[in-house]
Structure formats: structure tokens, C-alpha cells
Structure 1
Amino acid sequence: MTLQFHRAIEHLEVWSATEDGFSFVITYETPTGPGFHGRSGYVASWRPLGDCRGAIKVGGSPFRTFATAEGACNRMLEYLTEKN
């Protein structure tokens, strides 16, 4: 199973995907400029669907490339679905 990310917000670098009861989001952050502020890179996070708590950052964030962040999300999904 592979997450299929889509652009969630038109003018910001935010992508989301859902699978097997989990929601994943990847954002691009920079120290300055428009959008999210933080260390430069792609930050990945997840949470169970329907859960009102905040998201949990995927270990290793921020990632240098979108592909690396996407791969980390897919590995996290595999881990989460193995436990259930």
C-alpha cells in the first residue's frame, strides 16, 4: 500500500493523504518567507482519522526532499497497520 498525496491548499506547500484510518500531511517549512516557518525542509506528520488530538511528527523531519518525506510516511503507515 502506498499513500497517494495530493496538494491540500492551493497557494501553500501542503500535501495530504489518508489510508487505513490514518491521515498524513507533508508541509514545506523555511525560516523566512511565506508559508510555514521552521527549519528548512519537508515536515511529515500523522494522526488517526476522527481523532481530535494534534498530529504526531514523523521521526526524521524535516526531510531534504518531498520523496524522502513521502517514503517516511509510507514506512510509518506500514508500522501503524502492522500493530492493529
Structure 2
Amino acid sequence: MIYHRLSLLPDDVSIIDRKYIFRAAEEKSKEVLISYNELIEILIDITIFTLTIFIVIKFINRFNRKAQALKNKAVKRLIIFSSYLK
């Protein structure tokens, strides 16, 4: 999705060559930077990961609620059945 929108950029603009510099290179230290390409990739990965975890937890909660409902229904049937035996 995002790459399709980025393809609408003019030909002289390349996202691969763009970068954000946190700290410029000095005498004894290297330049600290992140490229926009890496940043977009990381954001997409995080979004996919969190969405996957959300869906898995949602399914687990749904199955737990169904199991609890079946358990409650079975207990009610057992109580009704035991009341007939008295």
C-alpha cells in the first residue's frame, strides 16, 4: 500500500537515498542515522506484529468464553438432572 503511494513521487526523488541523521560524524565517532526505507520497513513490521498478536488474543478470548458458556450449560443440566433424582 505505502509503496504504491511512494511510486507516485517524481523520478528524481528516491526514498532509498533519504536518511535522518541523529548525530553527525565527528572526529572519533561515526554518523548515527536511519534511512527512511528502513524506518518504513520497521513500522510495517511492527504494525503486522501487533495486529497478529491482537487477533490471536481475540480468538483465545472468544474460545474461552465459548468454553465457559458450555461449562455453565453443562452444570445447569447436571443440577436439573440431579433435582429429578431426588
Same fold (TM over 0.5): no
Q: TM-score, normalised by structure 2?
A: 0.30
Q: TM-score, normalised by structure 1?
A: 0.30
Q: Which has the higher contact order (CA 8 A, sep 6+)?
A: 1
The structure carrying a bigger helix percent of its residues is: 2
